[in-house]
Amino acid sequence: MSTNLPEKSLTVSDIRGRKGGVPLVCLTAYTTPTARLVDQHCDVTLVGDSLGMVLHGLPSTLGVTLEMMVLHGQAVMRGLSRSLCVIDLPFGTYEESPAQAFRNASRLLAETGAAAVKLEGGVQMAETIAFLVARGIPVMGHIGLTPQAVNVLSGYKVQGKGADAQRILTDAQAVSDAGAFAVVLEKIPQALALEITKAIAIPTIGIGAGPACDGQILVVDDMLGAFADFRPKFVKRYAELSKQASQAIEQYAAEVRSGEFPAQAHSFGQSV
């Protein structure tokens, strides 16, 4: 583990206190092995509802259930020792009322051990955020492109262009005022992200929002190149695992068919 990272587990207060400081490093994780890798380098590990698309092949995040988030949240927590774990509230588990949100958020935290929940929405979710925070549940907000509202937004388009910028800015202020400890800004113009970051008291975490945010987050599978054909503009690939894995599996298949594998080095002899 890198010696410049704190040994203790990071807290919500630690993350909130990084406003304007060293940028926050955040990635998703959905499994124990990935969590162990991420934990060495990241301040926040998000168990995102993107797991529905990344791991389960769903067409969007809308089909993700609370039970799925609990299962993957438990797996991720087994792999973390220092990174703050935040877990998404899935679609349909918090929008109805603050009471519904509290019931499901408290279950997520109790059954996974995660430190906080993340929910999507700005002004319309401010009351719910305040309700949760007042009852001991830390909340990370998420505004701009909100994938759970993909049908209303008519796709995964950049939000906050032109006159629409004021809506996003108002959402950001509402989330901050309601007591969220940080907010994700997804797929908005970088100038707007800069304005929001300067205007609100809590850290902004960008994904497709430019370099001015207080931190950055990506889906770990995207930045590792786990999917050959998925290349969103805001993702830098740091590896090409899909290509490497395909080559390895091709070689394995060829060696099995030729009889080259397993060799004696991979076999057991008769006991003496």
Those residues with Cβ within 8 angstroms of residue 22's Cβ, 6 or more apart along the chain or in another chain: none
DSSP result, 59-75? SSGGG--HHHHHHHHHH
State whether the Cα torsion 222-69-179-145 is positive or negative. Answer: positive
136: left (phi over 0), alpha (psi -120 to 50) or beta: left
Concerning whether 195 is annotated as a catalytic residue, the answer is no
Is 49 among the annotated ligand-binding positions? yes
Catalytic residue among 7, 127, 186, 195: 186
The Cα–Cα gap between 223 and 239 comes to 7
Whole-number CA gyration radius for the chain? 21
The Cα–Cα gap between 84 and 162 comes to 35
State whether the Cα torsion 14-20-23-25 is positive or negative. Answer: positive
Is 50 among the annotated ligand-binding positions? yes
Q: Per the structure block, which two tokens stand in for 269?
A: 């002899």
The answer to whether 261 and 252 have CB atoms below 8 angstroms apart is yes
Is 118 among the annotated ligand-binding positions? yes
DSSP summary character for residue 56: T
The answer to whether 52 and 60 have CB atoms below 8 angstroms apart is yes
**Binding region for 3-methyl-2-oxobutanoate:** 49-50, 88, 118
**Binding region:** 49-50, 88, 118, 120
**Binding region for Mg(2+):** 49, 88, 120
Catalytic residues: 186
